[in-house]
Structure 1
Amino acid sequence: MNRIVVVGASLAGVSACESLRQRGFEGHIVLVGAEDRLPYTRPPLSKEALADGLSEPVLSLKDADWFADQSVTLQLGEAATALDTRDRWLRLGSDTSIAYDGLVIATGSISRRMPMTLSMPTVHTLRTYDDAERLRQALQRGGHLVVVGAGFIGLETAATARRLGLDVTVVDVMPTPMYRLGEQVGAWYTDLHRRHGVRFLGSTGVASLSPDGDRTRVLLDTGEILSADTVLVGVGGIPSTAWLTGSDVAVGDGVQCEPDLSTTVPGIVAAGDVARWHNQLFDESMRVEHWTNAVEQGAHAAGTLLGEREPFTSVPYFWTDQFEAKLRCVGRVSAKDDVAFLRHDESSLVAVYGRHGTVRGAVCVNAPRQLASLRSAIAERADFRDITAGSPAAIPTP
């Protein structure tokens, strides 16, 4: 194997490049990225960078010298458009092609859009550096921000906007924010945001969005009309796999991977937001869109490409910071799981999630000391009753 092409100048892509060199690969590495800038970290885009200003040197994962020192050729500003898996050619947007011996797919995901908003300058999504810069400029003008979608991006942006002094309304079709964490955790976050002046409208959909001068008219399915200076649509992401159409790489809500992150085509692996694999620890097919997973999978996929065959069996981990609440989540959590609260007050909570008698996940808000022990319990597939014995609130799934 002389040339490995990493498609996606993402966290997973950079992690794969770094791991290839650490594992002794001495051949040519090409890192392809659609954006015309060095790979950067995304979590600050909805938080401090959105409020305080964006800085490429601060957000960059590695500086230009690192890529030069690692002999990684950067092919930036050109998105992958097609893949010939028979002759091993990657086609780029400039209608040029790159030959490869091995390929890492790390193209991540793109923001899910509402078709009615595609030509409306006051309506934003938040995924890229440029998205964040446009949204930051809009928020600097103040006024009323309407957030459609109460997931992590939407709620983090809502908290940032309140810090900047904007009026904020969050609209979601589910009854509580971050609904997959369960209604009890969602209700805690509803109270948190309301205490900080955010208006939350749950069980509410958006019927239409339309221009209204330099503002946006947001018609809700309840009949209420909101007038917004800025709208953020944060309704999730879609795996970036369209460029694989016509190739032999199997896709289906992500690139379909074996437990070791290999794909249906020899010599091609996937990592990060775009990868769907069978996690043997949970006996579940999953796709995880979080920072730690991208780092770990990028490194693991590199090993698989070089001949290692160990399954990737992680305990997923992610975090979100909103106002003074620092949420850390480990494992797999679902509103359908059994939930027991080891702590639940106005300033903190610890929730443990179980299924079929086994601990599967945990959410810790402002409770860092309990995080490590719960992560170990999940990895060890501990008994749910043993971990939650004596908890003040156990809420079984009907």
Structure 2
Amino acid sequence: MSALESVLVVGAGAAGLATAESLRRKGYRGALTVLGAERHLPYDRPPLSKQVLSGTWQPEQTQLRGQDALDALDAEFVLGDPAVALDAATRTVSAASGRTRRADAVVLATGVRPRPFPGAEGLRGVHMLRTLEDAAALRGELAGASSTVVVGDGVLGAEIAATACELGVDLTLVGPQAAPMAGQLGPRVAELLGRVHAEHGVRLLLGAAVAGLTEHQGHVTGVRLDTNEVLPADVVVVAIGSEPATDWLEGSGLVLDNGVVCDSRCRTSAEGIYAVGDVARWHHEGLGAMLRLENRTNATEQAGAVAGNILGEDRPYTPIPYFWTDQFNVKIQVYGTLSADADAEIVAGSESERRFVALYRKSGRPIGVLGWNMPKQTRLHRQTLVDAVDHSLALQR
């Protein structure tokens, strides 16, 4: 796009900022606008469930760049003004303020929003965690809570449970899986993570379905299971997943299906419009599948690919998926995509010492590497996945 004179990035989180930075780093010198729904300058979300919730970080420590670095981008940051509509044909974005902006290229980086618990709207004592304000509100209530229930046994629910437990909170973790994060780690490692939680004082009530919440005068009093058992709680944290923030794109002309659907170059169905980060669902040529990844690493890596393709590089985005989680004294790193029915083999360290690397295979093919408190060795074994993806790409050429 040699005539490119203006780029509009919709979303001022990690993916949006990384896109702006990558564009400048790759030589783009035209007009650059970043439109954000929140009033904050770009900040990091992973610390919200850990350092910010625990109080070891002040909110300002989550800011991704200092003011000098942001000024050096020579970009206009328009904050606290969420996008409400897109005309894909003209690449025009309308914001809540009523202002419209048109650009030669538009990058959608609106991320996800937490999935609410049905019927919990407006109920005091019920929290979700996505923003700095959410973290501050939850931390404030945990301090005086007599009993807390976290509903949701995925990554976020497990991290919140670990952090709150270390604060001395009386806490129960409820979820439908057999062990925390079973869907992300597989049964073997998830069972070990469950033991760690139990050893630190988290009550695990897993394999349980939540039917609803109980309340008194507008404040939550408990969590009701489908067995009609009620778990008393004056604070309830809902962490039952998230949804791509695409509602504002309905009627835009883009293809939407569990995110903004893109090709292997992260291009949407409309000319000059791209998607990046949690909201993007793109074709991974190396894996031969559509992927949508919700993690910090992907936000940054995909931003570089999108910036390059906007500027004419024309390269597929074929990363090795990666995420990590820190809970209690455990750092878990996962490369690739694990599945519950995969075979897991310990290839370094040992489970008994709680320092190990596991290689996951399906039908004899390596699909993932998991490290438990062995970061260096985990990165080394990642090469097995790189080789598998490279082989798949070579077969397609």
Whether TM-score is above 0.5 comes out as yes
1:78 touches 1:93 (CA, 8 Å); kept in 2?
yes
1:71 aligns with 2:77: no
2:124 touches 2:220 (CA, 8 Å); kept in 1?
no
Deviation at 1:64, TM superposition (A): 2.8
2:10 touches 2:109 (CA, 8 Å); kept in 1?
yes
Which secondary structure does the structure 1 equivalent of 2:358 belong to?
A: strand
Deviation at 1:346, TM superposition (A): 5.4
Which secondary structure does the structure 1 equivalent of 2:302 belong to?
A: helix
Output one character per residue of 1:340-382: Cα deviation in whole Å (capped at 9) or x when no partner: 2333225234322112321110111112232122210011129
When residues 54 and 242 of structure 1 are mapped into structure 2, their CA distance, relative to the original with a 3 A threshold, is farther
Separation in structure 1 between the aligned mates of residue 26 and residue 283 of structure 2, nearest angstrom: 24
Separation in structure 2 between the aligned mates of residue 300 and residue 293 of structure 1, nearest angstrom: 10
Q: Percent identity?
A: 40
Which secondary structure does the structure 2 equivalent of 1:24 belong to?
A: coil
Separation in structure 2 between the aligned mates of residue 54 and residue 107 of structure 1, nearest angstrom: 25
2:286 aligns with one of 266, 281, 289? 281
Q: Name the TM-score, length of structure 1 as normaliser.
A: 0.93
1:370 aligns with 2:377: yes
Which secondary structure does the structure 2 equivalent of 1:285 belong to?
A: strand
Which residue in 2 is equivalent to 1:331? Answer: 336
2:162 touches 2:328 (CA, 8 Å); kept in 1?
yes
Separation in structure 2 between the aligned mates of residue 331 and residue 265 of structure 1, nearest angstrom: 30
Deviation at 1:277, TM superposition (A): 1.0
Deviation at 1:249, TM superposition (A): 1.6
When residues 196 and 346 of structure 1 are mapped into structure 2, their CA distance, relative to the original with a 3 A threshold, is farther
Which residue in 1 is equivalent to 2:58? Answer: 55
1-10 or 349-358, larger mean C-alpha shift: 349-358
Output one character per residue of 1:125-159: Cα deviation in whole Å (capped at 9) or x when no partner: 11111111111111121321100011111111111
- RMSD across aligned C-alpha pairs, in angstroms? 1.4
Separation in structure 2 between the aligned mates of residue 74 and residue 372 of structure 1, nearest angstrom: 36
Which residue in 1 is equivalent to 2:230? Answer: 225
**2:277 maps to amino acid:** G
Which residue in 1 is equivalent to 2:395? Answer: none
Output one character per residue of 1:374-396: Cα deviation in whole Å (capped at 9) or x when no partner: 210011129xxxxxxxxxxxxxx
Which secondary structure does the structure 1 equivalent of 2:388 belong to?
A: coil
Which residue in 2 is equivalent to 1:348? Answer: 355
Deviation at 1:163, TM superposition (A): 1.0
Which residue in 1 is equivalent to 2:392? Answer: none
1:54 touches 1:133 (CA, 8 Å); kept in 2?
no
1:321 aligns with one of 326, 329, 334? 326
Output one character per residue of 1:198-255: Cα deviation in whole Å (capped at 9) or x when no partner: 0111110111102135542211112321111211110111011111111122110011
2:213 touches 2:220 (CA, 8 Å); kept in 1?
no
Which secondary structure does the structure 2 equivalent of 1:218 belong to?
A: strand
**1:201 maps to amino acid:** L
The within-5 A match list for 1:74-223 is 74-180=77-183, 181-212=185-216, 214-223=219-228
Separation in structure 2 between the aligned mates of residue 215 and residue 26 of structure 1, nearest angstrom: 53
Q: Which structure 2 segments of 5+ residues have no match?
A: 390-397
Separation in structure 2 between the aligned mates of residue 107 and residue 201 of structure 1, nearest angstrom: 34
1:67 touches 1:73 (CA, 8 Å); kept in 2?
no
Separation in structure 2 between the aligned mates of residue 162 and residue 347 of structure 1, nearest angstrom: 21
Q: Which structure 1 segments of 5+ residues have no match?
A: 383-398
Separation in structure 1 between the aligned mates of residue 283 and residue 52 of structure 2, nearest angstrom: 35
Separation in structure 2 between the aligned mates of residue 173 and residue 28 of structure 1, nearest angstrom: 48
Separation in structure 1 between the aligned mates of residue 108 and residue 74 of structure 2, nearest angstrom: 19
Separation in structure 2 between the aligned mates of residue 192 and residue 236 of structure 1, nearest angstrom: 23
Separation in structure 1 between the aligned mates of residue 163 and residue 63 of structure 2, nearest angstrom: 21
**1:310 maps to amino acid:** R
2:338 touches 2:360 (CA, 8 Å); kept in 1?
yes
Which secondary structure does the structure 2 equivalent of 1:222 belong to?
A: coil
Deviation at 1:53, TM superposition (A): 5.9
Q: Name the TM-score, length of structure 2 as normaliser.
A: 0.93
Which secondary structure does the structure 1 equivalent of 2:318 belong to?
A: coil
Which secondary structure does the structure 2 equivalent of 1:373 belong to?
A: helix
Separation in structure 1 between the aligned mates of residue 287 and residue 146 of structure 2, nearest angstrom: 45
2:89 touches 2:270 (CA, 8 Å); kept in 1?
no
When residues 187 and 346 of structure 1 are mapped into structure 2, their CA distance, relative to the original with a 3 A threshold, is farther
Separation in structure 2 between the aligned mates of residue 245 and residue 20 of structure 1, nearest angstrom: 28
When residues 53 and 123 of structure 1 are mapped into structure 2, their CA distance, relative to the original with a 3 A threshold, is farther
